[in-house]
Amino acid sequence: MNPPSLDEIRIACKAVARSATFVRIHEERIASYADSLKKAHGAPPALDPACHYLGRGEDTVSYLLTLNAVNFGSGYFPHLRKRPGMSGYFTVASSLNDHYREHGPLAAEALTRLRPEDCASIFGQEASRGPAGELMSLFARALNDLGAFVLRDFDGRFVDLIEAAGDSAERLVGILSEMPFFNDVGHYGPLRVPFFKRAQITAADLSLAFGGDGWGRFGDLDRLTMFADNLVPHVLRIDGILAYDPELASRIDREELIPAHSPEEIEIRACAVHAVERMVQALRDKGENATAMFLDYLLWNRGQDPYFKNIAPRHRTRTVFY
């Protein structure tokens, strides 16, 4: 199998955006919006050390690969028991951080043996049969897969997986996408539409954690696309860059689940990716250095503002990809 190309994401998402019927991009607003985003940003991109296991060399690599193996579940998060003042993501990241600090890193072999009840304990949930219990079962499968993959192909060493990418984020995406829960690909009619959200964000997180050096050195971070989740499209919708079909908007606002791989879900994600690509190009046309990774960081952090949490629901899809 040929390794995935990040250009395939761009090409496919552009094609979806051109023929989309449920989601529309307000192209005329792209340039001014991109400019306002760039001007409004504050601190440079960084991982919060209060929530992430940083500064520990190989153990930080282990932590970030383990975290991104379970960096999904936004469709389940309304049912997740969250830490006070924290989102679903930060609840998961902080819980894993605490486990690493209190019990040490999870070795690859240990990951293969984790059960749903073990995940419930690590992530502060009850082992139940409801949506949160279903998510813990998916977390266990994801971590079992990661452990088995690292044991089989990299002799149990997480850093060997990173080094196999040879300082290329695109190659790292290819390696990670060999695992089923990282192989984030949908179809829009006959068109294959890859996103590889969690594989891409793993490279970005490693770069932030290691300051672009060592296990965080990738010479092609500018090749990454926006990390297609449910928060950045929500921010783009609220800010008037994406417009949803009235029926789709009504379903989302009623907090109805949008099925994974449905045309509506593919259009939401693909149009967000293409809109960010258009913003990158608008900024580059003005001579500015812009990347999709940087704009994604700005948009995702913008979405942490309570305004975006309270004004309207975001789309919810139960999937292992975000």
User: Which are the catalytic amino acids?
Assistant: 229
CB crowding 65-86: b at 16 or more within 10 Å, else e: bbbbbbbbbbbbbebbebbeee
Place of tokens 């959200």: 197
Tokens of 136: 């813990």
Alpha-carbon distance of 145 to 108, in angstroms, equals 10
Burial label, 154 (beta-carbon count in 10 A; 0-12, 13-18, 19+):
middle
The full length of the chain comes to: 322
Q: Are the beta carbons of 229 and 296 closer than 8 angstroms?
A: no
Q: Residue 155, Cβ neighbours under 10 Å: how many? A: 9
Closest CA to 262 of 253, 276, 252: 252
Per-position DSSP letters for 176-194, written without gaps between them: HTTSGGG--EEEETTEEEE
Residue 230 DSSP one-character state: S
Place of tokens 């046309």: 285
Place of tokens 């409004």: 40
Residue 43 DSSP one-character state: S
Query: HSE on the CB side for 68, CA within 13 Å?
Result: 24
Closest CA to 209 of 26, 65, 79, 64: 64
Query: HSE on the CB side for 66, CA within 13 Å?
Result: 35
